[in-house]
Structure 1
Amino acid sequence: MRAQTASPDLFASLIDDVVASGSATITVSSPRTGEPHHELPRSSADDVRDAIARGRLMQVAWARAGFAHRRRVLLRAHDLLLERADQLLDLIQIESGKTRGQALEEVYQAASVTRYNALEAPRALRGRRVRGGLPLLVSTRVKYRPKGVAGVITPWNYALSLAAMDVVPALAAGCAVVQKADDQGALSILALRRAFIDAGVPEALWAVVTGEASEAGEALTDDVDYVCFTGSTATGRRIAEKAGRRLVGASLELGGKNPMLVLDDVDPARAAADAAYACFAAMGQLCVSIERIYVHRRVAGPFIAALVARLSSARLGNALDYSSDYGSLASAAQLERVRAHLDDAIEKGATVLVGGEPRPEVGPWAFAPTLLTGVTPEMRVYGEETFGAIASVYIVDSDEEAVLAANASDYGLNASVLTRSPARARRIADALAAGSVNIGEGYRGSFSSVAAPMGGIKASGLGRRNGPEGLRRFVDPVTVSHATGLMQLPRTGAEFRSLAGPFLLLARVLRAVRRA
């Protein structure tokens, strides 16, 4: 087994970067052992307000430094992320319990997000000329002004990549960031931040706070100029209500109960391999992972048999190397949630096809990947997001039935279609109610496409991260127009009377030449 690159000295150094003035701490345990791993300081409401105030002062200079400077700094950070990949992989595994392969997805994603925003921000946010309402008489430009201080609230499950997807575009746009980190993912976030600080981002420009949502989280959303939140739909609704009262913007990536449609022309073994990973990467603790599988009756038998066989033979483990297919749930609370959904389903008549039991020899919170059939609407697992090691399979008789079942959900974050026919897949993708649709894959195609917007509809959220849309949420468009002086615009009734005919003629001419 390879040596761990993340040491106790590194943990202590990173923890020192949390903005916290008091002595209160909380014990954070690792899913690999269930034992206490480190003490994390608690940030108070005053600490959060101080971090916002310092960030607001630093933001002015950062914005004035310009795109070229920010691009150089962010590209240096990108290179440091790759240089420190082993360290970051260790931290992700220690905190989350996921495999090294799934941790690698996070590091790759963080680097991709950093590179994209460094290079794209000058193009996406550069001011531009637009046609004035009165050609030749009025000249108009649109410019983009950074909002100020962005508040970023991130969860534990994909701490590194989700932090990067919100923090990096904010920095690229010229904003400061105060980030509320979940306790279970704080070390990974602090290591990510350290790379950016070492690359030249001023320390006060990106502050990390911890603490209870009722104190640190409330203080953050009370004072920042824009809010990014990733987490539960219930919490997202409360944040949206507060942002609405304050008249500040918010982007919210919330829950999902994501469907996969397995059509009747698939290769069953290949489709089963794709489904297994889509459902149980990070043990299902990912907002875009698959929890509902709709398989056509013609291939249901061989597909389900192949999926059960693949999950039965999967290797579970927590080693800091690439020896495991699946890892552990992240906490005792996650284990309890999975057990509650499973017990409820079994009590009401569901059948366990594979899994359904803890794996204590792997880790204290490890649970076997579990596949259910016979799931009905009165069961919690039918409509609620499990966010854990359970997926349900349903047999359908047509593409139309599969689409209707997939769309019959309060959520609309991600969906997947497995078929050999690209045309058929695109037709079905057009009919699915989801912010992202992956063809021939579960979630990684859209998740890794950082130049494209990512987000949900219905109860899965508001706004988009990634792509130009992800950058523009951190700026306010400002329209600047000036009269050219070629002719005086009318101000009196008499002046309007003399120019009424020419103005109406101009409108007709613009329509005729198809000018917007």
Structure 2
Amino acid sequence: MEPTATPEAAATTNGKSGGGSARTVEVFNPATGKLIGTVPAMAPDEVTAAVARARAAQPAWEAAGFAERGRILRRAQKWTLDNAERIISTIVAENGKTYEDAQLAEVSYAASAFGFWAKNAPEFLADEKVKSASPFVLGRKLKVRYAPVGVVGVIGPWNYPLTNSFGDCIPALAAGNSVVLKPATLTPMTSLLMAEGLRECGVPEDVFQVTVGEGSSIGNALIDAVDFVMFTGSTEVGRKVMMRAAETLTPTAMELGGKDPMIVLRDANIERAANAAVHYSMQNGGQTCISVERVYVEEPVYDDFVARVTEKMGALRLGVPGGPAQVDVGAMTSESQTDIVEEQVNDAVAHGARAVVGGSRGEGDGNFFEPTLLLDVDHSMEAMKEETFGPTLPVMKVRDADEAIQLANDSPYGLQASVWTKDVARGEELARRIESGVVCVNDAQLNYVALELPMGGWKDSGVGSRHGAGGIRKYTKQQTLLVTKFAPTDKDVHMLPYDSPRKTKLLGRTFKFLWGRGKRD
């Protein structure tokens, strides 16, 4: 059964948000085209008011401390697991992905993230003692403190309404911030459901709120009012968000577009590489920022690799997702994104590529595109240069690893990449030559489940990172503390007035003694 939402129910889930608005957002199942619910659409002034309430609620949430916040997050972890089927049903209905994609890449991630940040926030944000080589601070206590920024605004994408939309809120809450989340209008119901869960688990009123509304109308209001913006989405929109945030000097972090290359060397385990290429390009219908979007295969193993991928991709089942094991590839969430995929495939074919598997829109009322394998591709084609964000896999033959690296780096993006070889030492050496924030050797995407590892893009793929210590410290302000416990004199030697030539010369000799010794070349 598909979940439904009414304006009244959604408004209750969303705290005070949207209560005074007559506007609504209709939510459709992209696999069937059917309306599954409506939620209130907020006006800019309502978003501003929501941020004001979040700001008023934040000090008490910060004062609750890591232990209490951790207890609440662990309750939320249990709530997520206890309500897994309900969450999966909501994600499948509004997003169009398969049951397994919702289970493995969304619910399991959220459950893991709640526990990870509850456990690690105290360590990541503990005061840091600092030692200095400067003689001027001898005897002083030096520390760095991490204080929550206040109110964090999260602008989420539609492709992962739990993992990449709500998921960014978890470390922000763990750090002691209030959070106002703006989910994509295509997929707001998952965020509203999680807001309900947080409230049941003890998150105070107004500490977490969801604001639903169209595009920049409320997005700008959110950016203007919060203390930090976390954005996940396209590079084009990310630039606009950053420009808007710059007007108020509001810091940002962004995960943006990707065109992730996979390099298969002649000594790779071809069966494993073929399985990985199919999975990591087709999982979630290819609608993943870190999907494999292009493959470079060394000439000696190209035919073998292509034959295996052709067979495996041709066996995938495309269709309306429901329960477990029903389909392999679900619907595309956005009709406009389906258009982009179709345009790129048609452009590639027009320039000489062959679609040996798929190549067309799927049948039915929903947004479907067939799993598509493109051969005879090159970098004159959009499918090899621009982010596709759909179920396509272009495979290109290369002479050697050097050509593969050159082509992999021939992109404005640098989010993730992978190298496949039995010589792992060489694989790591090649990985270091790829211009990407993350590179896997003989794997892909698995770094995302290791929450200890930072995940962020280079070049046009983002600013900052999620996960690791940096993934929560970005939601804080650094404060330096220098404490003088005992001063040997009432007037330090460097203090005004400068009325003693002897003292000045003594200081000069001291500096030369401290920093003038040793080799310089």
TM bracket, shorter-chain basis: over 0.9
1:374 aligned residue: 376
SS at the partner of 1:67? helix
1:122 aligned residue: 122
Question: Once the 2 structures are TM-superposed, how far is the Cα of residue 212 of structure 1 from its aligned partner?
Answer: 1.6
Instruction: Tell me if structure 2 keeps the 8 A contact 1:278–1:441.
Output: no
1:299 aligned residue: 301
Structure 1 segment 212-361 matched on structure 2, within 5 A: 212-317=214-319, 318-360=321-363
Question: Once the 2 structures are TM-superposed, how far is the Cα of residue 360 of structure 1 from its aligned partner?
Answer: 1.7
SS at the partner of 1:352? strand
SS at the partner of 1:204? coil
2:439 aligned residue: 437
SS at the partner of 2:333? coil
Structure 1 segment 459-470 matched on structure 2, within 5 A: 459-470=460-471
Which string of whole-angstrom CA distances, capped at 9 and with x for unpartnered residues, describes residues 72-94 of structure 1? 11111111111111111111111
Instruction: Tell me if structure 1 keeps the 8 A contact 2:5–2:38.
Output: no
Q: Which amino acid aligns with 2:123?
A: R
Structure 1 segment 443-458 matched on structure 2, within 5 A: 443=445, 445-458=446-459
Instruction: Tell me if structure 2 keeps the 8 A contact 1:143–1:479.
Output: yes
Instruction: Tell me if structure 1 keeps the 8 A contact 2:7–2:38.
Output: no
Q: Which amino acid aligns with 2:127?
A: G
Instruction: Tell me if structure 2 keeps the 8 A contact 1:11–1:187.
Output: no
Question: Once the 2 structures are TM-superposed, how far is the Cα of residue 502 of structure 1 from its aligned partner?
Answer: 6.4
CA distance in structure 1 between the aligned counterparts of 2:106 and 2:501, rounded to whole angstroms: 62
Instruction: Tell me if structure 1 keeps the 8 A contact 2:6–2:39.
Output: no
Structure 1 segment 383-398 matched on structure 2, within 5 A: 383-398=385-400
2:62 aligned residue: 63
Bigger drift between 121-130 and 215-224 goes to 121-130
Question: Once the 2 structures are TM-superposed, how far is the Cα of residue 449 of structure 1 from its aligned partner?
Answer: 1.4
CA distance in structure 2 between the aligned counterparts of 1:86 and 1:314, rounded to whole angstroms: 24
Question: Once the 2 structures are TM-superposed, how far is the Cα of residue 194 of structure 1 from its aligned partner?
Answer: 2.1
Which string of whole-angstrom CA distances, capped at 9 and with x for unpartnered residues, describes residues 377-399 of structure 1? 33322211111122211001111
Instruction: Tell me if structure 2 keeps the 8 A contact 1:253–1:462.
Output: yes
CA 1:196–1:297 in structure 2 vs 1: closer, same or farther (change >3 Å)? same
Instruction: Tell me if structure 1 keeps the 8 A contact 2:5–2:36.
Output: no
Structure 1 segment 157-176 matched on structure 2, within 5 A: 157-176=159-178
CA 1:351–1:120 in structure 2 vs 1: closer, same or farther (change >3 Å)? same
Instruction: Tell me if structure 1 keeps the 8 A contact 2:172–2:472.
Output: yes
Instruction: Tell me if structure 1 keeps the 8 A contact 2:51–2:180.
Output: yes
Which string of whole-angstrom CA distances, capped at 9 and with x for unpartnered residues, describes residues 344-377 of structure 1? 222222211111122225x621221101122233
Aligned residue pairs, count:
507
Q: Which runs of 5+ in 1 are unaligned?
A: none
Instruction: Tell me if structure 1 keeps the 8 A contact 2:374–2:395.
Output: yes
CA distance in structure 2 between the aligned counterparts of 1:371 and 1:306, rounded to whole angstroms: 12
CA distance in structure 2 between the aligned counterparts of 1:504 and 1:256, rounded to whole angstroms: 55
Question: Once the 2 structures are TM-superposed, how far is the Cα of residue 164 of structure 1 from its aligned partner?
Answer: 3.9
CA distance in structure 2 between the aligned counterparts of 1:154 and 1:214, rounded to whole angstroms: 13
SS at the partner of 1:185? coil
CA 1:38–1:165 in structure 2 vs 1: closer, same or farther (change >3 Å)? closer
CA distance in structure 2 between the aligned counterparts of 1:154 and 1:507, rounded to whole angstroms: 55
Bigger drift between 8-17 and 483-492 goes to 8-17
2:475 aligned residue: 474
CA 1:76–1:217 in structure 2 vs 1: closer, same or farther (change >3 Å)? same
Give the TM-score, by structure 1 length.
0.93
1:501 aligned residue: 506
Q: Which amino acid aligns with 2:46?
A: D
User: Sequence identity, in percent?
Assistant: 35
Instruction: Tell me if structure 1 keeps the 8 A contact 2:7–2:40.
Output: no
Question: Once the 2 structures are TM-superposed, how far is the Cα of residue 447 of structure 1 from its aligned partner?
Answer: 1.4
Instruction: Tell me if structure 2 keeps the 8 A contact 1:49–1:219.
Output: yes
1:36 aligned residue: 35
Instruction: Tell me if structure 1 keeps the 8 A contact 2:13–2:195.
Output: no
SS at the partner of 2:25? strand
Which string of whole-angstrom CA distances, capped at 9 and with x for unpartnered residues, describes residues 376-428 of structure 1? 33332221111112221100111111111101100000101122221121111
CA distance in structure 2 between the aligned counterparts of 1:403 and 1:195, rounded to whole angstroms: 46
Bigger drift between 375-384 and 391-400 goes to 375-384
Aligned: 1:87 with 2:83: no
CA 1:195–1:10 in structure 2 vs 1: closer, same or farther (change >3 Å)? farther
Q: Which amino acid aligns with 2:368?
A: A
Q: Which amino acid aligns with 2:190?
A: S
CA distance in structure 2 between the aligned counterparts of 1:510 and 1:72, rounded to whole angstroms: 50
Question: Once the 2 structures are TM-superposed, how far is the Cα of residue 15 of structure 1 from its aligned partner?
Answer: 5.4
CA distance in structure 2 between the aligned counterparts of 1:329 and 1:395, rounded to whole angstroms: 29
Q: Please provide the CA RMSD for this pair.
A: 2.2
Q: Which runs of 5+ in 2 are unaligned?
A: none
Instruction: Tell me if structure 2 keeps the 8 A contact 1:137–1:486.
Output: no
Question: Once the 2 structures are TM-superposed, how far is the Cα of residue 123 of structure 1 from its aligned partner?
Answer: 0.8
Question: Once the 2 structures are TM-superposed, how far is the Cα of residue 504 of structure 1 from its aligned partner?
Answer: 5.5
Structure 1 segment 401-412 matched on structure 2, within 5 A: 401-412=403-414
Q: Which amino acid aligns with 2:48?
A: R
CA distance in structure 2 between the aligned counterparts of 1:412 and 1:136, rounded to whole angstroms: 44
CA distance in structure 1 between the aligned counterparts of 2:61 and 2:431, rounded to whole angstroms: 42
CA 1:15–1:352 in structure 2 vs 1: closer, same or farther (change >3 Å)? farther
SS at the partner of 2:206? helix
CA distance in structure 1 between the aligned counterparts of 2:7 and 2:113, rounded to whole angstroms: 25
Instruction: Tell me if structure 2 keeps the 8 A contact 1:311–1:369.
Output: yes
Instruction: Tell me if structure 2 keeps the 8 A contact 1:15–1:187.
Output: no
CA 1:506–1:201 in structure 2 vs 1: closer, same or farther (change >3 Å)? farther
Question: Once the 2 structures are TM-superposed, how far is the Cα of residue 135 of structure 1 from its aligned partner?
Answer: 4.2
1:100 aligned residue: 99
Structure 1 segment 179-194 matched on structure 2, within 5 A: 179-194=181-196
CA 1:311–1:496 in structure 2 vs 1: closer, same or farther (change >3 Å)? farther
Instruction: Tell me if structure 1 keeps the 8 A contact 2:3–2:93.
Output: no
Give the TM-score, by structure 2 length.
0.92
Question: Once the 2 structures are TM-superposed, how far is the Cα of residue 197 of structure 1 from its aligned partner?
Answer: 1.7
Q: Which amino acid aligns with 1:259?
A: P
CA distance in structure 2 between the aligned counterparts of 1:201 and 1:89, rounded to whole angstroms: 22
CA distance in structure 1 between the aligned counterparts of 2:442 and 2:63, rounded to whole angstroms: 45
SS at the partner of 1:372? strand
Bigger drift between 145-154 and 489-498 goes to 489-498
Instruction: Tell me if structure 2 keeps the 8 A contact 1:226–1:250.
Output: yes
